[in-house]
Amino acid sequence: MSEALNENGFPGKDRAELTGMTETELAAWGKERGLPAFRGKQIFQWIHRGADFPEMTNLPREMRETLSREAVAQPVQIALRRVSRLDGTVKFLYALTDGNCVEGVLMKYHYGFSLCISTQVGCRMGCKFCASTLDGCLRDLSAGEMLGEILAANRYLKESGAEESVSHVVLMGSGEPLDNYENVIRFLRLLREENGIRLSLRNVSLSTCGLVPKMRQLAEEDLPVTLCVSLHAPNDGIRKRTMPIANRYAMEEVLDACRYYVKKTGRRVIFEYALVDGVNSSPDQARELAGRLRGLQCHVNLIPLNTVKERNLKGVREDTVRRFLETLQAEGISATRRREMGDDIEGACGQLRRKTLREGSLPGAENPE
Ligand code: SAH
C-alpha cells in the first residue's frame, strides 16, 4: 500500500473517507463501484465497530485490498497516550491521515466513559487562557474524523479489557464546534444511524464560546444535545479582556440565544466559567453574574483555570472558588465546580499537542511512560 502514502508517510487525502458517510451514502458509493447493497451495510457496520479493511473478514480478500487502496475506514489513529496515575483519565494524541494531530481525553465516571473530542486542528477564536488557539486554526475536522476519534477510543477500551465503550461525548477539545458547523451537524447525525454506534444525543454536550447565529441555528436542528457556553465573565468589559469573540457578540445577545435554545429544546444550558485570579473571581462578580442569569434555565460549571505556560493568567485559590460558588448558590443559581481530572497528564485543551510538537516527538509508538 506504500503508493498511498504521502511524503510524510501518512495515507493521503486522495482516498475516500467512508467514516463520514451515512449508511445510505456508503451503499451508494459502493454501488458506483459495483458492490451489492448488502456489502455497503457490512462495511458500514464494521467501520462503526472500529474495524479497518483487513479485519472485515466477511468481505472477500480482493475486495478488502481494493477498498484499502481507494478508501479510508479509520481516519484517526492513536499516536500517543498517557494514563493519569491520579484518576485513570487517558489523554490521547490522535494522528490524522494528513499528518496533523489533535487531542482527546477519556474520563471514567460512575455513569460510563466520557470522551472529550476535538472539532478543529487548533482554533481561531483566540481566547487568552486557551492553549488550543495559540497557533490559530489549521483546518476543520471532517465528520468522519470526529466519529473516528470515538472509534479509536472504543478500540483502545476494548483492547484494554473494558466491558463498555464510550457512552458520553463532549465537544470540548480543540476547536470551536460552531465554527465548523456543517461537519459537526453531520457528525451528530451519524451518531444516530441505526447500524452505527447509536450514541444518544442526550449524552452529547457541545461547547461554544458563543457564536450567536449558529447557536440559534443549532436550536432549530432538532438534535437534543446539551449546549454549553463558555462565559467566563459577568459582563462584556471583563469578557472582552479574555475572549475576542465578546467584541463581536454582546453577552446579552449570547444570553438571548441561550433563552431561545432552552425554549426550542426544553434543555437547560450549561455555562462554563473559569476562575482567573484578579479578573473574574470576586464575590461581587459572582453576584453580578447571578443577576444576569436569573430566570434562565441554566447551570454554572466553575472550572479551575489550568495554567497555560504561554499565557500570563493565574488560577485562583481553593477558598476563592468556594466563595464564588457559595455566592452563586445563595443567589439561587444552580452551580457546581468541575472536578479536575488528569492534572498530571496535560489534561487541558491543546497542552499535550503543543508539548509534543515543541519537542518534535510525535512517534508511531505508543505510551511514552
Ligand atoms: N471552543 C469551545 C470548546 C472548546 S474549549 C468553547 O470555547 O467552549 C472547552 C472549555 O475549556 C471552554 O469552556 C474553554 O473556555 C475552556 N478552557 C480553555 N482553556 C482553558 C484553561 N486553560 N483552563 C480552564 N478552562 C479552559
Helices (H), the chain: 23-32, 37-48, 61-70, 143-159, 181-190, 212-219, 236-242, 251-265, 283-293, 318-330, 351-359
Pairing of strands 120-122, 76-83: unpaired
Cα–Cα distance, 71 to 94 (Å, whole number): 19
For range 336-365, the mean pLDDT: 63
Helix axes 251-265, 283-293, angle to 10 degrees: 50
Least confident of 122-131, 305-314, 325-334: 305-314
Q: Write the DSSP assignment of 217-258 as a string of letters.
A: HHHTS---PEEEEE---SSHHHHHHH-GGGGTS-HHHHHHHH
In a domain, 111, yes or no: yes
Ligand 1 pocket, mutate which of 117, 129, 243 (most atoms under 8 A from CB): 129
Tell me which residue has its CA closest to atom 24 in ligand 1.
Answer: 305
Share of the chain above pLDDT 90, in %: 82
Among the three residues 54, 72, 90, which one is the final residue of a domain in this structure? Answer: 72
Prediction pTM value: 0.92
Confidence of residue 6 (pLDDT cuts 50, 70, 90): very low
Active site residue 103: yes
Same domain, 32 and 102: no
CA 163 – ligand 1 centroid, Å: 30
- Whether 271 has a pLDDT exceeding 70, the answer reads yes
| CATH number for the domain harbouring residue 172 | 3.20.20.70
176 lines ligand 1 (CB under 6 A): yes
Domain CATH for 50: 1.10.150.530
pLDDT tens profile 291-307: 999 999 999 999 988 87
Geometric angle at alpha carbon 157, from 336 and 205, rounded to 5°: 35
**284 lies in some domain:** yes
Q: Which of 60-64, 142-146, 359-363 has the lowest mean pLDDT?
A: 359-363
Domain extent for 33: 16-72
Active site residue 310: no
Is residue 120 within 6 Å of ligand 1 at its C-beta?
no
State which of 72, 105, 136 marks the end of a domain. 72
User: Which phi and psi (to 5°) does residue 127 adopt?
Assistant: -60, 135
Q: Considering the domain boundaries, does residue 365 fall inside one?
A: no
Please say if the pLDDT value at position 349 is more than 90.
Answer: no
Which of 166-175, 177-186, 201-210, 348-357 is predicted least confidently? 348-357
Task: Please give the distance, rounded to the nearest whole angstrom, from the Cα atom of residue 232 to the centre of ligand 1.
Answer: 9
Q: What pLDDT, on the 0 to 100 scale, is given for residue 358?
A: 66
Say if residues 330 and 287 touch (Cβ distance below 8 Å). no
Co-location of 36 and 133 in the same domain: no
Residue 165: is its pLDDT beyond 50?
A: yes
Does residue 310 form part of some domain? yes
Per the domain annotation, does 366 fall within a domain? no
Q: Is there an atom of ligand 1 within 6 Å of 280 CB?
A: no
- Mean pLDDT of the region 194-202: 97
Among 316, 278, 329, 347, smallest CA distance to 89 is for: 347
pLDDT per residue over 40-99, tens digit each? 999 999 999 999 999 999 999 999 999 999 999 999 999 999 999 888 899 999 999 999
Give the residue whose CA is nearest to atom 3 of ligand 1.
172
Count: domains in the chain: 2
Residue 368 lies in a domain: no
Q: Give yes or no: residues 115 and 38 share one domain.
A: no
Shared domain for 232 and 141, answered yes or no, is yes
3-class SS letters over 61-103: HHHHHHHHHHEECCCEEEEEEEECCCCCCEEEEEEECCCCEEE
In a domain, 207, yes or no: yes
